[in-house]
Amino acid sequence: MTSHAVSAAAAGTWTLGDLTVNRIGFGAMRLTGSAAFHQGTPSDRGRAIATLRRAVELGVNHIDTAAFYFSRLRSANELINSALAPYADDLVIATKVGPARDADGEWSTSARPDRLRGQVEENLRQLGRDHLDLVNLRLMGQDSASEHFGALAELRDAGLVRHLGISAARPEHLAEAREIAPVVCVQNRYGLDARGGDEMLRTCAAHGIAFVPFFSIAGEGREAGTVRAEHDHVRTVARAHGVSPAQVRLAWILQQGAHVLAIPGTGNPDHLVDNVAAGALRLTAEELALLDAIGESAS
């Protein structure tokens, strides 16, 4: 498999409301540095911008970001604006609101509903947009999503936001949100060895809602990236196809349903090409069963 020749279109498409995207996209969090947020070495600005432009060249038209993706010297939104504005008509930029960080990078509790407009406007300023294509409400452990999601629905009605989604959500949160306004996607942690999202995966499929896993490659490493030795089953499948373990993990994600969108993140152009190539990798039923066993043993 020659990953340099593969376009994101090879993964197929899905429609977020009225916006069609290739099923393999790009997550912008890792553009800000070598580790999460204020820790680690600041990213090389030129390489981050080159990675974003290369992603679009490869057919990526779904980029996931947030105003709280910033480190000491880098802001993901600012990098996206510098690299890609003026934006292509088919480029969908999804962002998140809810979590709050101060200028020193310290986290506070979830923003109050009346503060969400300010967070939306912050994303608009940083991205240089007059509206946001998609805003996900990132839940921070609250029992109910209604008040926060209702505040975002008002911003949608006002024209600041085109489509809405939820993140780190349970099925009951999705049911609440759908009573208020259309939900086009759910962003939850999910991967080969993080299978707690199976119920939400199925719920989204039943309602025609995109399921957008995060940390699909990093697993337990989360924001810090991959920190564990790769599982033998993943290595076996990777060797059989002559691809990287990361590609196997992404291909497995994409084969969980036509409604599943992948948003792997990287600040490395070579890793980007490798990730996008996963959209063309098709695993056999036997390989899927072998990989499924990882999640069963982890649960």
Domain ranges of the chain: 13-226+256-279
Q: How far is CA 256 from CA 124, 152, 193, 249, 292, in A?
A: 33, 29, 14, 11, 11
13-226+256-279: CATH superfamily: NADP-dependent oxidoreductase domain (3.20.20.100)
Q: What pTM was estimated for this model as a whole?
A: 0.92
- Tens of pLDDT, residue by residue over 204-219, are 999 999 999 998 886 4
Q: Which of 26, 37, 69, 252 is catalytic?
A: 69
Residues 6+ apart with CB under 8 A from 220: 193, 194, 227, 228
Is-catalytic flag, 87? no
pLDDT at position 219, please?
47
Residues 6+ apart with CB under 8 A from 167: 96, 98, 136, 137, 138, 139, 186, 187, 188, 214
pLDDT mean across residues, the chain: 90
- Tens of pLDDT, residue by residue over 15-73, are 999 999 999 999 999 998 755 554 556 679 999 999 999 999 999 999 999 999 988 88
pLDDT at position 199, please?
94
pLDDT at position 223, please?
46
pLDDT at position 5, please?
57
Instruction: Give the integer Cα–Cα distance in Å for 66 and 51.
Output: 17
Query: Does the pLDDT of residue 260 top 80, yes or no?
Result: yes
Question: What mean pLDDT do residues 250-279 have?
Answer: 95
